[in-house]
Every structure is written in structure tokens, then in C-alpha cells.
């Protein structure tokens, strides 16, 4: 491709400068109003009453307990979904089997179902008056209004993230490299660790990042199964809601700023991964690039 | 290592990929599986490798049944059309992979691995690329690396699936000559799949022509090209002209042409087809006798490097025929578009209609320009 000859070289698909400016302007205004202003507001409100109040809010025992529970549910949900996501993507992309499309649909189910419904299903299953309730009470197992329920709800809503990230990637990569490894004498296990995993690692990491973000920020499903017991079954988003309802705005925003910082960190990691994978993107298989 | 394939049968759903294949491949030969796409050649190769399992039949390496052996225990080298190099490994590590994944007891030492990889890199003349990644190489280089990687495990059999299919014409020609030289050096029994008849004719010791999951003919390149066993082989290997007519008591009448066909002594007015290669036709300015030439007019003249290809329209039925001749011969008596000429086939092969209809599923007047799909 030759470089532009004129200063204002235009391809057929590019718009005149006025339209371009207008489109960029609309997009920027929208983003400023709906994303940037609230972002600033969160930190402004959190710090309005001074650093002391801010620190007190986030070191409050209930807040710390909420943070711990949020981290715990993420630590449980993410590895489980990693395992499931890789296994499901592997099965879907490398094998032909009955019920494959059903499996794909099931993976998408948490996207389609409202999180509140998801929470409600668990209440109906494991709650005191639920299907499995009496059996659970008999063995003194508590799921609803307890930590296991929160973990279950979190796992449910985050199921699609890793699998959905890996399926298209693994589909595009095909099975030739794995076949080559097998012919060369590698065992299935070696093939997975030395060939498949290195090929999907960036996609997997990307899925993990999104999954983590969702696991920590989940509100609806967790809210239904949690029971809002302070210090016991409150996650960070639930804790924020309680503080807000009690008119403790500074404390609510202080905790909210933690989740916001988390979101910003995840956004940063995500951008880094995208840039990295973009620069690593392989040339087309048949290419004769020198 | 010889390969003996017995009664191989494979279906995919309703599609019969291989229909009872019997094939013996002698040790040390370079054999081409040639056929159009979907003829089962790649499936056959993958079953030999163990990447696919047959529904029926067996495969024997040097008299030993291999069906029960897992792909990783068959000691085959497999070269993929799109190379399948490990993208995240250097060229060196790609070639060393087969040695590194051996069970600890059989694994060579690091120095042995280094020596082996460098020996192979020298063999493919790409020693200077050892530390590069596959994405930094050209297609031709990648395919040579893939070959070195396959050879690293000292395979008993080398299998190549359209090894040059993804390369451009010039690289493809270089690489196939190189493969032939390499094979003459290392003499490992090799089977390669191709849809390119020119490639098969140039490189292989034996050609196995396949169509619809069946073997049409097995033979040396010369035999397959000069004496095709079926109409399909005739059509698939090289260009052809097709004449329709009738066979009767050892003679075949094709429009105004009458030729002897002693093999059809018993035929009684049987519909017949005759195949003539474009370079097996003489063009005369004057008719010879009434029934050994066909009148036609020159429709088009194309100069293709050292060859001249003429498109003729037969006066009798308007059918098109193609004729090829050397530049010298054309220059000796240059024809013009619109000239009247008399077509005289030098070499002509007649098939009766029934056998042609069942065997040749691609009833084309004119087929195969060397490229395929």
C-alpha cells in the first residue's frame, strides 16, 4: 500500500471531517456524562468528609468482613470456572458429541437469565422450604443465607465468561498442533500442558480477568441468597447498599471507591492483555511472509 | 518399512470416504495419493497415521498389524498442509519436541538432542533459523521445518498431507524437487497426498489415483499417464479431448472418424467415448482419407510459453477440441483464426459408454489444467 499523497488523503469509506468530528464529539460527550462524571463523583463523595472518615469506613470490621467474603467468593468462583471453562471449551472445540449445542446453550444461560432469578432458583433448591431443604437441615448443612450459597450464586453468574472467551479462540486454532504433538509421541497430558495451554494462555487470562470482575461486582443473585447478615454474609456490593440505605453516604462511597479501583485495575490489565495478544497475533497459516 | 492396507472402509455419516481400499506400498518408495478433493486420499493418510480410525480393514507395517497401536506409538512422521508448527516455540524447540516428550528412559541427553536438531537443520539447510519463531518464517521455510520436526523422531513412515498445497507455484516447484532429493538421500517410505497431477508425476515412484473412496489405478507416473486404466484417470491426469461415438465389431466410429478398437471385437453398436490428449493430435491442411481425419476451424490461439494451444470447432457438430503443439511446430506452419484444418488423432483411447458412465463421474469435455482447486 502506498502512503497518502495529499495531506487530506481519503479512502472511499472515510467521512468528511465535519461528520467525523460530530461522531467523535457525540461519543465523547456521552462517555463523559455517563462514565467519567460518575467515576469522579464516586471518589469526590468518598473523600468529601476527609481521609479519616474514608479510612474509617473501609477499615470498619463489617467492611473488612465484606471485603473478605467478596474475595473468598471470587477465589472460589474463578478457579472453578477456569477448570470448567477450559474443559468445556476443549470438549466443544476438539470433539464431536451428542448434546454439544445443548452444552453451548447451557453455558450461555447465565447471560440470558436475570441474576435475581438465579438466586431465587438456589433458594428454591436449597432453602429451608426448598426441595433439598429438609435433607440439608437434617445433616446440618446451611447453604442459603450462608457463605456456600453466595459462592454458588457467584459461580452461576460467572460460568460463561471463561468458556465464551476460549471457544472462538480454540475454534480458530483448530486441532492440528495437538495432532502434530500426538504423532510426535506426546501423551494427551503433555500435549495439553505444552501445546494447548500456551496457545490459549492470553485468552484464558482475559477470561479470568472478566470473570474476576464479575464475581466481585455481582449483586442480584448474591443479594437473594445472602440474607444480608452483617459481618457474615455481606459481600462488598451488599455492604454498600446497606450503608447507602442507612444514609451513611461517605462510607458507602468509600466502599464503592474500592470496587471502582478494582474495576480500573481490571480495565488496565485487560488493555494490557489486548495489546499484548494483538502484537502476538499470528500471521495467517498459509502466509508466505518473509 | 512396507505398508500393507487391507480392505479399509470408512464412513462419515452418510458419506463413504473409503470404500474397501487395498494397497501395498513397498519399503523405501515415495508414493503419491492423487485425486480430486473429497476422494478420500487425506482420510486414507490420516488412518495410516492413526489420527483417524477405520470402520473396517487393517493396516500392516512390515507385516505387523498397527490398528491396535496408538498414534504416538506408530512412529510415523506427519507433515500437515498448514505446517502445524508450534507457534510459541522456536524452530529449534519445534524440531526437538518429539525427542523431549519421550519417556525419561528413552529420552536422549540434552547434548544428543542438540546434535540431532542441528543435524536436521543442516539437512534442510536452515541452520541459521534455529532461534526464530514460526511466524517469522516464509511458507516454504515453515514446511521444511515441519519436515525436519517429523524426521527428528526417526519415523518408519513419512506421511505428507498436501505438503505444498499452501505455497505459491514457484516455491512449490522448488520444494517438491527438494523433497525428491531428500527422499533419495534418506529412503524412508513416504506417502504424500496431492490433488496436483503435475506434482505427483514429477515427484513420486508410484502414483495411486483415487476417486470416490476407491483406487482407480496404481502405477508408475509413466504408466498412469500413458495407459490410464479408466476414463477418470484419463481425465484427471492431464488434459483431454472427448469424442462420442459407437463401437461395433472392433471398430469405433466417432462422427466422421473411424478407428480400430480390437478390444471391442464383440461390441454391437455400443455407445463409446474416445479420449485424446491435446498433444496427441496432428493438424493437417488437407484431408487424408475420408474417415481418418475430422474437419474443424481454428477458433482461438493461445501462446503459453513454449507451447501453443489451439481451440478448434469441429465442422460436423460444433464441439470444441483442444490441440497443443510446440512453438517450433506452430512456427513451421502458422495457422490463423478461422483456418480450416483436419484433425488427426495420433493416439486415442476408447471406453464403452457403460464403463465410462460408472467410472468417470465427471463427464467433462475438457478437464484438468494442472492446478486443481
Each residue's pLDDT tens digit, B98-118: 999 998 888 999 999 999 999
pLDDT at A11: 67
pLDDT at B318: 80
**3-state SS, residue B273:** strand
Find, in chain A, the residue whose alpha carbon is nearest to that of B136.
A290
In angstroms, the CA B292 to CA B259 distance is 7
B87 to chain A, any CB pair closer than 8 A? The answer is yes
Residue that wins the pLDDT comparison between A223 and B159: B159
pLDDT at B254 over 90: no
Residues of chain B with Cβ-Cβ distance to A187 below 8 Å are: 72, 101
Domains of chain A (ranges, CATH numbers)? 76-250 (1.10.3720.10)
pLDDT at A215 over 80: yes
Residues of chain B with Cβ-Cβ distance to A180 below 8 Å are: 78, 80, 84-86, 146, 149
State the Cα angle at A162 between A157 and A166, rounded to 5°: 145
- A269 exposure class (CB count in 10 Å sphere: 0-12, 13-18, 19+): middle
User: Taking residues B32-60, what's their average pLDDT?
Assistant: 91
CB within 8 Å of A224: residues ≥ 6 apart: A116, A118, A119, A120, A122, A123, A153
Beta-bridged to residue B322, according to DSSP, are B311
- B198 exposure class (CB count in 10 Å sphere: 0-12, 13-18, 19+): middle
User: Taking residues A197-225, what's their average pLDDT?
Assistant: 87
A182 to chain B, any CB pair closer than 8 A? The answer is yes
User: Taking residues B82-110, what's their average pLDDT?
Assistant: 92
Q: Which helix (H) or strand (E) holds B353?
A: helix B353-359
A77 to chain B, any CB pair closer than 8 A? The answer is no
Residue that wins the pLDDT comparison between A159 and A12: A159
- Confidence at B363, pLDDT banded by 50, 70, 90: very low
pLDDT at A10: 58
Find, in chain A, the residue whose alpha carbon is nearest to that of B157.
A183
Q: Which stretches of B12-63 are DSSP H helices?
A: 41-49
DSSP state of B40: S
Instruction: Determine whether the interchain pair A179/B88 forms a contact, defined as Cβ–Cβ distance below 8 Å.
Output: no
Question: Which of B80, B159, B169 to mutate: most A Cβ within 10 Å?
Answer: B80
Instruction: Determine whether the interchain pair A183/B78 forms a contact, defined as Cβ–Cβ distance below 8 Å.
Output: yes
Residues of chain B with Cβ-Cβ distance to A282 below 8 Å are: 87, 135
Grid coordinates standing for A49? Answer: 468528609
Find, in chain B, the residue whose alpha carbon is nearest to that of A182.
B72
- Complete DSSP assignment for chain A: -PPPSSTT---TTPPPHHHHHHHHHHHHHHHIIIIIHHHHHHHHHHHTT-HHHHHHHHHSHHHHHHHHHHHHHHHHHHHHHHHHHHHHHHHHHH---TTHHHHHHHHHHHHHS-HHHHHHHHHHHHSTTSSSHHHHHHTT---TTSHHHHHHHHHHHHHHHHHHHHHHHHHHH-SHHHHHHHHTT--HHHHIIIIIHHHHHHHHHHHHHHHHHHHHH--HHHHHHH---TTTT--HHHHHHHHHHTT-HHHHHHHHHHHHHHHHHHHHHHHHHHHHHHHHPPPPTT----
In chain A, residues 121-180 whose CB comes closer than 8 Å to chain B: 176-177, 179-180
Residues of chain B with Cβ-Cβ distance to A200 below 8 Å are: none
Most confident segment among A230-244, B78-92, B349-363: B78-92
- Confidence at A82, pLDDT banded by 50, 70, 90: very high
Rounded to the nearest integer, the mean pLDDT of chain B is 86
In chain A, residues 212-271 whose CB comes closer than 8 Å to chain B: none
Domains of chain B (ranges, CATH numbers)? 3-234 (3.40.50.300), 239-352 (2.40.50.100)
pLDDT at B149 over 80: yes
pLDDT at A42: 87
Each residue's pLDDT tens digit, A128-138: 777 877 777 78
pLDDT at B285 over 80: yes
pLDDT at B355: 56
- Confidence at A126, pLDDT banded by 50, 70, 90: confident
Residues of chain B with Cβ-Cβ distance to A183 below 8 Å are: 49-51, 71-72, 76-78, 150
**3-state SS, residue B345:** strand
Instruction: Determine whether the interchain pair A286/B166 forms a contact, defined as Cβ–Cβ distance below 8 Å.
Output: yes
Find, in chain B, the residue whose alpha carbon is nearest to that of A186.
B101
Mean pLDDT check: name the lowest of A19-28, A246-255, A281-290.
Answer: A281-290
B108 to chain A, any CB pair closer than 8 A? The answer is no
B357 to chain A, any CB pair closer than 8 A? The answer is no
Nearest alpha carbon to residue B235 among B373, B360, B67, B62: B360
- Confidence at B4, pLDDT banded by 50, 70, 90: very high
- Confidence at A9, pLDDT banded by 50, 70, 90: low
pLDDT at A283 over 50: no
Residue that wins the pLDDT comparison between B310 and A1: B310
Residues of chain A with Cβ-Cβ distance to B76 below 8 Å are: 183
Amino acid at each position: 500500500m502506498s502512503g497518502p499523497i495529499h495531506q487530506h488523503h481519503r479512502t472511499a469509506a472515510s467521512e468528511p471531517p465535519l461528520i467525523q468530528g460530530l461522531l467523535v464529539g457525540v461519543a465523547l460527550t456521552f462517555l463523559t456524562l455517563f462514565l467519567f462524571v460518575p467515576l469522579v463523583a464516586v471518589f469526590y463523595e468518598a473523600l468529601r468528609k476527609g481521609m479519616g472518615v474514608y479510612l474509617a469506613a473501609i477499615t470498619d470490621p463489617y467492611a473488612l468482613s465484606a471485603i473478605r467474603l467478596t474475595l473468598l467468593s471470587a477465589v472460589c468462583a474463578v478457579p472453578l470456572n477456569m477448570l470448567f471453562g477450559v474443559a468445556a471449551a476443549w470438549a466443544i472445540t476438539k470433539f464431536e458429541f451428542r448434546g454439544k449445542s445443548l452444552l453451548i446453550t447451557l453455558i450461555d444461560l447465565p447471560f440470558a437469565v436475570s441474576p435475581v432469578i438465579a438466586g431465587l432458583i438456589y433458594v428454591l433448591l436449597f432453602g429451608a422450604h426448598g426441595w433439598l431443604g429438609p435433607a440439608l437441615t437434617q445433616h446440618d448443612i446451611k447453604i442459603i443465607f450462608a457463605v456456600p450459597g453466595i459462592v454458588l450464586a457467584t459461580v452461576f453468574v460467572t460460568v460463561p465468561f471463561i468458556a465464551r472467551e476460549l471457544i472462538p479462540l480454540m475454534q480458530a486454532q483448530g486441532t492440528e498442533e495437538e495432532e502434530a504433538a500426538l504423532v510426535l509421541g506426546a501423551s494427551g497430558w503433555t500435549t495439553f500442558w505444552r501445546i494447548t495451554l500456551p496457545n490459549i494462555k492470553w485468552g484464558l487470562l482475559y477470561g479470568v480477568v472478566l470473570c474476576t470482575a464479575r464475581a466481585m461486582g455481582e449483586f442480584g443473585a448474591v443479594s437473594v441468597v445472602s440474607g444480608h447478615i452483617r459481618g457474615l454474609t455481606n459481600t462488598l456490593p451488599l455492604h454498600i447498599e446497606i450503608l447507602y440505605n442507612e444514609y451513611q453516604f461517605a462510607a458507602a462511597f468509600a466502599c464503592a471507591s474500592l470496587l471502582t479501583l478494582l474495576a480500573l485495575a481490571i480495565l488496565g490489565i485487560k488493555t494490557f492483555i489486548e495489546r499484548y495478544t494483538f502484537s502476538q497475533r499470528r500471521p495467517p497459516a498459509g502466509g508466505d511472509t518473509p | 518399512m512396507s505398508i500393507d492396507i487391507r480392505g479399509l472402509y470408512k464412513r462419515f455419516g452418510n458419506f463413504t470416504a473409503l470404500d474397501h481400499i487395498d494397497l501395498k506400498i513397498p519399503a523405501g518408495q515415495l508414493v503419491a495419493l492423487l485425486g480430486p478433493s473429497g476422494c478420500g486420499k487425506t482420510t486414507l493418510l490420516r488412518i495410516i497415521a492413526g489420527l483417524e480410525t477405520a470402520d473396517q480393514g487393517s493396516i500392516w507395517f512390515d507385516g505387523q498389524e498397527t490398528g491396535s497401536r496408538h498414534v504416538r506409538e506408530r512412529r510415523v512422521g506427519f507433515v500437515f498442509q498448514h505446517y502445524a508448527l508450534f507457534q510459541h516455540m522456536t524452530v529449534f524447540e519445534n524440531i526437538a519436541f518429539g525427542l523431549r516428550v519421550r519417556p525419561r528412559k528413552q529420552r536422549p541427553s540434552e547434548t544428543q538432542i542438540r546434535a540431532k536438531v542441528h543435524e536436521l537443520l543442516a539437512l534442510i539447510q536452515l541452520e541459521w533459523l534455529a532461534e526464530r519463531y514460526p511466524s517469522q518464517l516464509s511458507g516454504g521455510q515453515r514446511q521444511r521445518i515441519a519436515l525436519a520436526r517429523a524426521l527428528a523422531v526417526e519415523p518408519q513412515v513419512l506421511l505428507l498431507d498436501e505438503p505444498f498445497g499452501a505455497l505459491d507455484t514457484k516455491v512449490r516447484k522448488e520444494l517438491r524437487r527438494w523433497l525428491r532429493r531428500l527422499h533419495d538421500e534418506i529412503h524412508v517410505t513416504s506417502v504424500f497426498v496431492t490433488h496436483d497431477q503435475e506434482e505427483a508425476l514429477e515427484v513420486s515412484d508410484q502414483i495411486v489415483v483415487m476417486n470416490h473412496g476407491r483406487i482407480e489405478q496404481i502405477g508408475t507416473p509413466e504408466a498412469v499417464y500413458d495407459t490410464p486404466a479408466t476414463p477418470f484417470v484419463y481425465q484427471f491426469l492431464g488434459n483431454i479431448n472427448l469424442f462420442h461415438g459407437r463401437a461395433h465389431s472392433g471398430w469405433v466410429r466417432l462422427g466422421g472418424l473411424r478407428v480400430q478398437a480390437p478390444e471391442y471385437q464383440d461390441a454391437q453398436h455400443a455407445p463409446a467415448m474416445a479420449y485424446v490428449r491435446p498433444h496427441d493430435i496432428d493438424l493437417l491442411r488437407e484431408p487424408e482419407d475420408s474417415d481418418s481425419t475430422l474437419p474443424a476451424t481454428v477458433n482461438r490461439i493461445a501462446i503459453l510459453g513454449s507451447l501453443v494451444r489451439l481451440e478448434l470447432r469441429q465442422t460436423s457438430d460444433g464441439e470444441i477440441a483442444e490441440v497443443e503443439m510446440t512453438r517450433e511446430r506452430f512456427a513451421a506452419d502458422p495457422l490463423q483464426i478461422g483456418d480450416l484444418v483436419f484433425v488427426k488423432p495420433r493416439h486415442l483411447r476408447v471406453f464403452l459408454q457403460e464403463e465410462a458412465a460408472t467410472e468417470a463421474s465427471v463427464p467433462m469435455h475438457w478437464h484438468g489444467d494442472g492446478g486443481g482447486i
